[in-house]
Structure 1
Amino acid sequence: MKKSTQLRTLILALAIACTAHPALAADPPLPAVSPSGIPAFSEEMLSPDFWIGRLLEPNAVLLDPRQAAAKRTQVYAPNGGFIDLQHLPATLDRAQVTAWTEQARQTPVAIGVDENGKPVGAGLLASINKNAAAERIAASTPARYGLSVRRAQLRSLPTERSFYAAADQRDYESLQAGILFPGEPVVIAHASADGKWLLVMSTQGPAWVRASDVAEGGRDEVFAYATRAPGRVVTGDQVRTAFTPEAPEVSELLLDMGAALPLAEVPPGEPVNGASPYASWPLLLPVRGEGGKLAFKPALLRRSADSAPGYLPVTRANIIRQAFKLLGERYGWGHQFNARDCSGLTGEVYRSMGVLLPPFSGLQGSSTAFQHRTFTDKDSHADRVKALAEAQVGDLIVVPGHVLMIIGQVKGEPYVIQDVPYAVFKDPRTQQIRKTKLNQVSVTPLLPLHADDKTLYVDAMTSLVHVTRN
């Protein structure tokens, strides 16, 4: 082989090597603490392309549609994290419904002050508990069924009142128990004394929901809708249906990432709610008909809205792209503020790809639908760091009360995206604990961060979840 040919071959081989191993390219210089108050961080890390460009096979499919569907089934199995509503008894007895009210009442956030900052007294709580009408629970009652008609708050008690542990802790509302997305099924078990609230069992567990947020229908009708194949899947952070004064119940309806809704059958050229559907997707949505009974109406979703004809492929590039669509969103405990919390972030990213994660961080760390590496006090710091070094993009790190998602490595250290109130770390310049207020979806390194003033996240880690492994 001629030297010129050898040289060209060597240059080509080097070029291929650099393309195939982008993670070996020079890492950006990182300040000890960035101007934004985050350690070992640079502004370019806020771009999904920075992380995707470091992957060897960013578009490799990690779970095919059959495997993703299997995992959707597994989360409804025992200890999978979701309640299988279709296997609940058709008749509910008093003991069962009473247990659900007690379970709904449990809240991880203490009740200290009200929305005006005044202490919550025993009398106020007694009046709210009285509205739960425990004495009216029948000895035996047929289960009723319904679909949520909008993004509906789940509550620990049947009240609109807002409570907090303290006046300066407004980011954690004590009675916020989660969210129902449009079209989610529920089992209706009981009604409040004032008739404004329903005690329901959702796939997440029991809670109270406004009666006006649920349309009641027959069991078969409810589950037939809930199990229909999606016609459009929301792939943006949030989208809204088109404004329409002709049908206010489906006008500008908020749809979160991962919402999977069927298409309505609309004759070509026939207007939908006063507008042509030719530049939109006609969705079929549940609404409250006469007497709160279940009915369905079409609604338009603009073709320009961020949605897809089905679930996105489960790839590392899609995991990163979807997560970064939520970057900078305000932290929303239990989906408050039309936003998400830490488990809402991870759950909706995967939901857009057809993989269901349980709604709470602890359940995400223990669901039998996924592979886990669990950690106890017997695992050393070195063992934990080694496990993280072998983790993949999209793996979840679970610590008590929190979950984070791995997005890659820089200089051999893992970085995460997380929805978190603070970045707590020891400032390498002063050796003092520093707290940077984030209160949003953020990109941070993992190893320097503390779960509290004394314990590193890595040492508090209880589970490393391999979501995309079979």
Structure 2
Amino acid sequence: MSRLTFPAPPPPRATARRTAARTWRTRALLLAVMGASANLTACAAPSALAVSPSGVPAFSEDMLTPEFWIRRAPSPDAVLLDADQVAAKRMRAFAPEGGLLDLKALPATLTRAQVAGWVGDAQRTPIQAVIDEQGRPVTAAMLDELRQNTATGQIPETSAARYGLSVRRTHLRSLPSDLRLFASEDLRDYESLQAGVLFPGEPVVIAHTSADQQWLFVQTTQGPAWVKRGDIAEGTADAVFSYVAKEPGRVVTGDQVRTVFTPEAPEVSELELDMGVALPRADVAPGEPVNGASSYASWPVLLPVRAQDGSLAFQSALLRRTADTAPGHLPLTRANILRQSFKFLGERYGWGHQFNARDCSGLTSEVYRSMGLLLAPNSGLQGRSAALNHRLFTARDSHAERVRALRQAEVGDLVVVPGHVLMIIGHVDGEPYVIQDVPFAVFKDPATRQLRKTKLNQVSVTPLLPLYADDTTLYVDAMTSLVHVTRP
């Protein structure tokens, strides 16, 4: 697939950040492809463990409840990081090598070279566009048309940065298009142009507009991407960042909740809010009606909305008191880590938050976001973020050293392998177990001595040591980082 050539890339640190943000997708795709096509031949044996009827080794049904693991956790209700320590880690996430981009630090004036470089970087997707949703071949002409809609030739020499807030859960795209493109028929869980998601109330810097005027090119805290114009409300920098800085009135602690239905204000009616979304409290007197309903049995919150001219406004909305929310971020405890992660159990894998779901790094980041911690948007950056404590592993680390580290790992620690991240939930007979959002469990069947592949494609509980990252390498031997998220 040919690519456009862009002038003068941005400064090296920004380039490195964006390159890292794209590398994880390449590795994640490789992991999925290797799992899908694993050569089921005999390999070096992990522990010889019985296989459950579900096709997962060393597994029992009672492991599918958080209480099973909470009972095994040491001091499950002890607070691991206090509010000040959590706030310090949030700040470090936006510092150099923290994994997130501080939008307030971007220049108020953007150059053509800078914006063009961002546009070019956003296009670098690891998933080749071979077929469309109907299975028809993707032609060079189709791809050229998509690139032409980026309108890079219309980027001015300099332009003022504009600011906005997302008004709903909306996908980030590598190119300004809704077309769904895939590498092959059997890899439809991985869509070529999918680049992530924005949740309601997330800030963006608006840098450019597509030729058809339907898409905005934006910088997000995750990096550059295209987003539907109608999903962004544009306001002043002060209005945008003041909203983001407000104290949370309610934090979503369920996997996903919705605002109360209201025909009086459709822009905030049944709005999807994912785990960890924090909304400021609306200034509403007790019992005062909000959008045609009393607020006494609900929580009034303030949400950004898009006026008819595209400008930013704010609207009160209601969250039912019975919805899974909290008055602030949850305390960072082992019990809360387990309860929050198990709320996603069984959810379909969603590459880049497709299918109204999330992928492996989305799972880990949303669990911790409900407790006030911000993690980088991909597994590779989570494994080396300067905001977190981690032990890095190289080829010099032996299998025995790796196993020893995992047997000593704590609840909530993250295990990072190329393209994937898993969360430690505890130990059974000294063996580490994880919760993970993964396409397959590949392991050696003790009965046949052959590799066996169980399709999961969802958030799952599995042992760690028996699992293979591909047809020759165990996860433990592929591990590049053990992240101690809950340490100061």
- Unaligned segments of structure 2, at least 5 residues: 1-47
Aligned to 2:91: 73
Measure how far apart 1:369 and its partner are.
0.5
Rounded Cα–Cα distance in structure 2 between residues aligned with 1:55 and 1:386: 18
Q: Are residues 1:340 and 2:343 paired?
A: no
1:64-143 mapped onto 2 (5 Å cutoff): 64-143=82-161
Q: Quote the offset at 1:267 in angstroms.
A: 2.5
**Local SS of the residue matching 1:416:** strand
Cα displacement (A) at 1:56: 2.5
Cross-structure match for 2:212: 194
Which residue of the partner structure matches residue 203 of structure 2?
Answer: 185
Cα distance in 2 for partners of 1:68, 1:396 equals 17
- Residue aligning to 2:309: 291
Q: Which has more radius of gyration?
A: 1
- Distance (Å, rounded) in 2 between the aligned partners of 1:32 and 1:194: 58
Whether 1:449 aligns to 2:462 is no
Instruction: Tell me whether 1:49 sits opposite 2:73 in the alignment.
Output: no
Q: CA deviation at 1:31?
A: 6.5
Residue number in structure 1 paired with 2:54: 36
Structure 1 residue matching 2:142: 3-state secondary structure: helix
Which letter maps to 2:404?
A: K
Q: Show the counterpart of 2:20.
A: none
**Hey, what does 2:255 align to over in structure 1?**
237
User: Over residues 37-92 of structure 1, what are the superposed CA-to-partner deviations in whole Å (9 max), with x where a residue is unaligned?
Assistant: 00000000001000000122000110000000000000000000000000000000
Task: Say whether residues 1:62 and 2:80 are aligned partners.
Answer: yes
Distance in 2 (alpha carbons) for counterparts of 1:270 and 1:426:
62
The answer to whether the 8 Å contact 2:133/2:180 transfers is yes
- 2: CA distance between counterparts of 1:304 and 1:115? 39
Matched, 1:152 2:164: no
Distance in 2 (alpha carbons) for counterparts of 1:420 and 1:166:
19
1:92-124 CA-partner distances (Å, limit 9, x unpaired): 000000010011111122211111111211110
SS in 2 for 1:305: coil
TM-score by length of 2: 0.90
Letter in 2 for 1:434: R
**Counterpart secondary structure, 1:345:** helix
Q: Could you tell me which of 367, 387, 401 is aligned with 2:405?
A: 387
Whether the 8 Å CA contact 2:73–2:411 is kept in 1: the answer is no
Structure 2 distance, partners of 1:225, 1:396, is: 31
Residue in structure 2 matched with residue 257 of structure 1 by the alignment: 275
SS in 1 for 2:185: coil
> Whose RCO is larger (CA < 8 A, sep 6+)?
2
Query: Aligned partners of 2:421 and 2:128: how far apart in 1?
Result: 21
Letter in 2 for 1:35: P
Secondary structure, aligned partner of 1:154: strand
Q: When the two structures are superposed, what TM-score results if normalisation uses the length of structure 1?
A: 0.93
| Alignment RMSD | 0.9
Superposed CA offset, 1:192-221 (max 9, x none): 000000000000000000000000000001
Provide the rounded CA distance (Å) in 1 between the counterparts of 2:128 and 2:282.
Answer: 44
Q: Which residue of 1 aligns with 2:336?
A: 318
Specify the alignment match of 1:281 in structure 2: 299
**CA distance in structure 2 between the aligned counterparts of 1:279 and 1:45, rounded to whole angstroms:** 36
C-alpha contact 2:79 2:333 (8 A) present in aligned 1? yes
SS in 2 for 1:291: coil
The question of 1:172 aligning with 2:187 is answered no
- 1:316 positional shift: 0.4
Identical-residue share of aligned pairs (%): 70
8 Å contact kept, 2:49–2:446: no
Query: 2:80 aligns to what SS in structure 1?
Result: strand
1:210 equivalent in structure 2: 228
Deviation at 1:290, TM superposition (A): 2.9
SS in structure 2 at match of 1:317: helix
SS at match of 2:165: strand
CA contact (8 A) 1:31 1:41 kept: no
Q: Contact 2:288 / 2:296 at 8 angstroms: preserved in 1?
A: no
Q: What do residues 320-373 of structure 1 show as CA deviations (whole Å, max 9, x unaligned)? A: 000001100110000001101000000000000001110100010010001111
Q: What is the alpha-carbon distance in structure 1 between the residues aligned to residue 49 and residue 327 of structure 2?
A: 43
d(CA) in 1 for partners of 2:110, 2:312: 21
Give the match for residue 327 of structure 2.
309
Structure-2 separation of matches of 1:110 and 1:451: 22
1:99–1:249: structure 2 CA closer, same or farther, 3 Å change rule?
same
Number of aligned residue pairs: 441
Q: CA deviation at 1:304?
A: 0.2
**AA partner of residue 354 (structure 2):** Q
